[in-house]
Structure 1
Amino acid sequence: MSAEANSEAPTQAVENLKLENGAEASKSPVPQNSGGTTFEENFKAFAKFGDPKSDGKLITLSNSDKWMKQAKVIDGKKVTTTDTGIYFKKLKSQKINITNYKIFLNDLAKNKKLDVEEIKTKMGNCGQPGHHGVGVRKIFK
């Protein structure tokens, strides 16, 4: 088998993959969001997490911390729950909307010398709440 023919086989195999639900796998060279969600969708999901009455428009510090831990933004070194508490409380509210949440993230990133877009990317890519981490039950199955 020639080297050229050999290098085509894996590409064709990947292009022919099917997902479990029968949809075709993306052929895009751009990496796909592993969580299948955006920052805004995750905001709503984490805002609702653990509160059946929530409409997903306001998030608490507790749920924000859960989200940031799952996204590995809170690492216990550079960013801690003490840090998030300080900057969240500056907004003088128990729950904040997405506009104020972005202000919170900008303030946190600026003071911790981090890239806010990198933080948002991590938070958008971390998946739905409760799906990752040791000892966490999968609640959506």
Structure 2
Amino acid sequence: MTSTNDSEREKRIRIVPLRTMFEAFCQAHPIADIIDIYLLAFSQLNKWFLSAKVIDMSRVTTTDAFLCFFQFQKSAIDYDEFLIFLDDLTDIKKLDLDEVKFKLQTCVKPTSNENIGPKK
């Protein structure tokens, strides 16, 4: 009986392409209305990783993620840099890259106006 429920739940899981999720979290940042390119700030990456339960504060912490992010010496990274970031983080923390990508692809997408205050 449990296996039937598990298989039904797996069928309902929506797997969103990683690039689409990346772009959604880029757009959830307040500066997204100003710039016309997809750049992911660490604050948005942190929210995404917490939502996906990649950051669990025991095996992977916000500090771990920040140290990998810091190598780019930028306030925001593009998609290609994000893929490098993922490779580095999973390598350093001995995580399964495919499992991390799956978590990132199946978590809740942010709303387009998340974190954006009223327009003036």
TM-score range with shorter-chain normalisation?
0.7 to 0.9
The CA distance in 1 between the partners of 2:25 and 2:35, in whole Å, is 10
Structure 1 counterpart of 2:59: 78
Superposition CA RMSD, Å? 2.4
Q: 2:94 aligned with 1:113, yes or no?
A: yes
TM-score, normalising length from structure 2? 0.76
SS state at 1:41 partner = helix
**1:66 positional shift:** 0.2
Tell me the percent identity. 33
In structure 2, distance between residues paired with 1:41 and 1:55: 16
Verify the 8 A CA contact 2:26 2:44 in the aligned structure 1: yes
* Greater RCO structure (CA 8 Å; 6+ sep): 2
Q: Structure 1: which 5+ runs fail to align?
A: 1-28, 131-135, 137-141
Q: 1:34 Cα deviation (Å)?
A: 2.8
Within 2, Cα distance between the matches of 1:40 and 1:33? 21
Q: Which has the higher helix share?
A: 2
Residues 1:107 and 1:32: Cα distance change in structure 2 (over 3 Å): same
Aligned twin of 1:44: 23
The alpha-carbon distance between structure 1 residues 76 and 97, as it changes in their structure 2 partners (threshold 3 A), is same
1:39 CA drift (Å): 1.3
User: Per the alignment, in what secondary structure is the counterpart of residue 83 of structure 2?
Assistant: helix
Shift of 1:113: 0.4
Q: Using the TM superposition, give the Cα deviation of residue 127 of structure 1 relative to its aligned residue in structure 2, in angstroms.
A: 2.1
Structural mapping, 1:1-141, within 5 Å:
31-32=10-11, 34-35=13-14, 37-51=16-30, 52-55=33-36, 57-129=38-110
Task: Give the 3-state SS of the residue equivalent to 2:108 in structure 1.
Answer: coil
- Give aligned pairs, total: 104
